[in-house]
Structure formats: C-alpha cells, structure tokens
C-alpha cells in the first residue's frame, strides 16, 4: 500500500469499497508524495493540507454511514482558475495573489458534493494565457518525464500533478487546447467537453465564448467518472445547456465496429514532427484493428484557426480583465497619487508580459475603426471553421489526429518567440472555435522518452463516442500504467 498515490480513481474506489484503504490513507499518501517531489515539479500554487485531511475524515464517516458520493474520499486537485471558497484563487497572477473567493465555482461545488477531497490548487499560465506554464507568476511547473522540459499549458500544473502522482486526478480548463495539450505532453488523459456541457460559473474568465472546464486523469474511465460528476445544467451560467447527463462509464464498450473515423489531412501537414506522426499513425492503425473504418477528411479553414483565435480570445480577455483595476479586489498600488495612476500602476505591476500583450492586442482589435477588420472578420472565419466540422461529421463519427505538432520542448526554448509558441496550438484551437468536445489519449513516446498524445474530436455533446474510442485505444496500446521514473522512487 506504499504506492497509493499512483492509483487511478476507479482503482482507489474499488479499494475504498472493499474497506482495504481509507480516504485518510489515500490523502496522506498523496500529501506525502507532494512532499517528496513537489520541489522538482512545481505543480501547485496553494496546498490545503489540514482541510484535505478533514475532508478525508468526513468522507470516511460518510462511507461508513452509507452516504458516500461517487467520488467519496478521492484526493484531486483543481486548476487555480476555478474559485474555491476560503482557499485563495490566483489565476497564476500577482494581481490576484491574495484573493480568497467567498464562494465555490459550480464545478468545485459538485466535486465537494460528490465527496472528493480537494488537496490544492494547481499551477497554470497566468489567466490561462500560455502553452507551456512559463507565464505563471509563481514559476513554471515542470514535466515529470523530464523536468528540464515544459509540461504544457495552460493547465500544466494539473497535468504534471496527475502524471507525478501528486493527486489521483485534476480539473483543468481548455480555451485553445489547455487541457488536451498538457495531457499530451505529460502522458495523461485530458478531456475538453462540449462548450456548455460543464458550468463556467466561478471559472475566472479568459475568453468567455471559448473557456470550458474538464478532467485530467490517469485513465479514460477516470475521465468518464469525473465528467459525469461535473457535467450538467447550471442556472447560474447562461451558456450552460439544459440536457441530461448520460452514464459516461457505460459508453466504454469494447470494439469500434460500425464507427467511421475521419483523418483530417490538414492535421498531418508540414511541420508535424515525424515521431509524433509515427505514434499517431500507429494509434490509428490500432483503432482500425478494433473495428473502426477510416476515411480521409478535409478541414480547409484549419490554417486560419490560429489567426482567428488570437483575435477573438485576446478581444474577450481585454473585456474580461478590465475588472482587475485595483479598486474592488486584487492587487492595488497604494503609492499612486491619482486615480488614473492607481489603475495604471496596479495593472502594470499585477499583470505579466503575456497577459499585457494579449490585452493590448484585444483592445486594438475591438477599437473604433478596427472592429470590422479584425474581430468581426475573425468571427466570420470562426463560422467557416464550424461549418468545416459539420461537413466532416456528415461523413464520419469522429476525427483522429495529433494533439500537438511536436513533443514537449525545453523550458525557455520558445519564451522569447511568442508566435512560435502560439503555433504549437494549431491542432487544438479549431476545436474550441467550434465548441466541440475533444480528448487526448497517450499513444506513444518520442525517442527522448517524452509522451505523445492522440486527439479524438466528435460532434457537439458526443462525449460518449469520444470516450468509447479513447478507451479502445487505451486498452489495446497497453501503456496506461506507464509512469515517469519520478513517479516510482
């Protein structure tokens, strides 16, 4: 029982149900694991040790009384962009370094109601703006497979924590690939639900028409379990869709006979790392062996996705982040002599360079005389990208492709070249623009031993189909239990 931190959610649940371990045992094991490796990983911004143990004790009492929820006693982490009552929520930014929310995000409230033990808040790119976790004001989280490399972003801390055994699962958010990309780089499962499937209430907004919360887990079944808890209509979120939540775990049937998988040619274009292509092509062959048919598909507007995204997302960020002005909450410069200086100095000190860059881009795109040329045009391109997907799903059940065109790169390698960093999201951004569900599943490793993920995308609210395909890939590849050496001291 000295490796409890390495358990999946479902494996831990089985032990809890048999009475072979307690929630306190699991939580202590995870906290001990954090003590052992966190100085090398940097996955957390804030830990909640005492409260986590208290929650674990309550979970054990609830299980003994027969009132256990579906996640009762399972230690998980939360990306530091979701509000947690009584526990600081920084968004990886100095401007919110001391902010303690008075309420829980709906996702967090549902996890608590299900009996989950919340061990802490994970590291992230500042306000979820980044692809490497290097824009965090608290320093970068590192890849457990090679700590000299990035773990991905913006949910990098969540992915790294799961891969390193510093929690059994985590909740991240995905605006342009921020769940799937770090999942791919860290060798874990990352599921981005359909926009509107999971409530955004209490999720500190980056780009409101794109943000979506979802699970990062050790297995596909764990992702199905977590999604079933956090999904569902929320009257507090006007974009939340009112439709039943299916039993996602029941969708994990064996075999893919009758399904047709589309292979988008634009996702295998120039610039794709040969090792990534080889691993993904092998994964596609495995899916064929599971019974799926394949068909070549074209998504002709893919090449415009990055440009459209980096107008729409910064424009929405410019509006959303205007609330951080030093007046109501967050950092306030107390040395300013005038109101204008207070605004300027508070925001200049509180925001990092990447956030400032995107605010400036977004403000420009929305400014008088430029709105039609930039934001409106980008919105039109967004509609064309959505139409590409609709046409594709008329010919196939799901799309399979790489997640990232390259494996994880070294820390600092792209820090001075923002455009190069932005282009690493070229294969995930279209999904967000169209509001589709997507999942990253480990499918292999580079020659240097870095994980590679395969992406599956489906039509709106077809998460069951995604999970079925992902589970069949995971089952046949047999690499789900492989963890970095760091995770096996």
For this structure, is 348 an active site residue?
Answer: no
Whole-angstrom distance, CA of residue 428 vs CA of residue 181: 8
What DSSP element (H or E) covers 341?
helix 339-350
Catalytic residue among 48, 154, 170, 440: 154
> Around Cβ 326, how many Cβ atoms within 10 Å?
21
Catalytic residue among 77, 93, 178, 184: 178
CA atoms within 13 A on the CB side of 344: 6
- Is residue 144 within 8 A of residue 486, CB to CB? The reply is yes
Cα angle, residue 225 at apex, residues 192 and 49 outer, rounded to 5°: 90
For this structure, is 154 an active site residue?
Answer: yes
Catalytic residue among 8, 22, 48, 79: 79
Cis peptide before 154 (omega within 30 of 0): yes
- Is residue 92 within 8 A of residue 135, CB to CB? The reply is yes
- Is residue 280 within 8 A of residue 402, CB to CB? The reply is yes
- Residue 334's contacts (CB-CB under 8 Å, 6 or more residues apart) are none
- Residue 231's contacts (CB-CB under 8 Å, 6 or more residues apart) are 193, 197, 198, 245
Q: What are phi and psi of 211, to 5 degrees?
A: -60, 140
Whole-angstrom distance, CA of residue 324 vs CA of residue 126: 13
Active site residues: 79, 154, 178
């Amino acid at each position: 029982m000295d490796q409890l931190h390495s358990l999946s959610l479902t494996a831990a649940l089985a032990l809890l149900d048999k009475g072979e371990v307690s929630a306190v045992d699991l939580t202590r094991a995870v906290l001990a694991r954090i003590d052992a490796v966190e100085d090398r990983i940097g996955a957390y911004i804030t830990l909640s040790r005492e409260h986590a143990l208290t929650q674990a004790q309550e979970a054990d009492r609830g299980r003994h009384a027969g009132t256990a929820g579906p996640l009762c006693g399972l230690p998980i982490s939360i990306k530091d962009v979701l509000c947690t009552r009584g526990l600081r929520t920084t968004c990886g930014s100095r401007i919110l370094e001391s902010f303690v929310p008075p309420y829980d995000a709906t996702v967090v409230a549902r996890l608590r109601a299900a009996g989950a033990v919340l061990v802490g808040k994970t590291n992230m790119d500042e306000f979820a703006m980044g692809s490497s976790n290097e824009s965090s004001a608290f320093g970068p989280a590192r890849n457990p497979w090679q700590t000299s490399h990035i773990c991905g972003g913006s949910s990098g801390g969540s992915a790294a924590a799961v891969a390193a055994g510093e929690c059994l699962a985590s909740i991240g958010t995905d605006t342009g690939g921020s769940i799937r990309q770090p999942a791919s780089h860290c060798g874990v499962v990352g599921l981005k639900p359909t926009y509107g499937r999971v409530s955004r209430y209490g999720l500190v907004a980056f780009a409101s028409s794109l943000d979506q919360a979802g699970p990062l887990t050790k297995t596909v079944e764990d992702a199905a379990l977590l999604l079933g808890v956090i999904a569902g209509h929320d009257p507090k979120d006007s974009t939340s869709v009112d439709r039943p939540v299916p039993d996602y775990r029941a969708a994990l049937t064996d075999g893919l006979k009758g399904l047709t998988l589309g292979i988008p040619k634009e996702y295998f274009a120039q610039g794709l790392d040969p090792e990534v292509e080889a691993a993904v092509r092998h994964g596609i062959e495995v899916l064929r062996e599971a019974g799926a048919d394949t068909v070549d598909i074209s998504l002709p507007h893919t090449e415009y996705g990055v440009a459209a995204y980096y107008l729409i997302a910064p424009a929405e960020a410019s509006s959303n982040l205007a609330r951080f002005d030093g007046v109501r909450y967050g950092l306030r410069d107390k040395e300013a002599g005038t109101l204008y200086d207070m605004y300027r100095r508070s925001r200049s000190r509180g925001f990092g360079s990447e956030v400032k860059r995107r605010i400036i881009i977004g403000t420009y795109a929305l400014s008088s005389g430029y709105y039609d040329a930039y934001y409106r045009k980008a919105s039109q391109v967004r509609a064309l990208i959505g139409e590409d997907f609709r046409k594709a799903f008329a010919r196939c059940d799901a799309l399979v492709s790489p997640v990232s065109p390259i494996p994880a790169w070294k820390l600092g390698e792209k820090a001075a070249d923002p455009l190069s960093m932005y282009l690493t999201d070229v294969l995930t951004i279209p999904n967000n623009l169209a509001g589709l569900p997507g999942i990253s599943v480990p499918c292999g490793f580079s020659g240097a031993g870095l994980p590679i993920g395969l992406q599956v995308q489906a039509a709106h609210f077809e998460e069951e189909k995604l999970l079925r395909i992902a589970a069949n890939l995971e089952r046949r590849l047999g690499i789900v239990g492989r963890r970095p050496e760091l995770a096996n001291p």
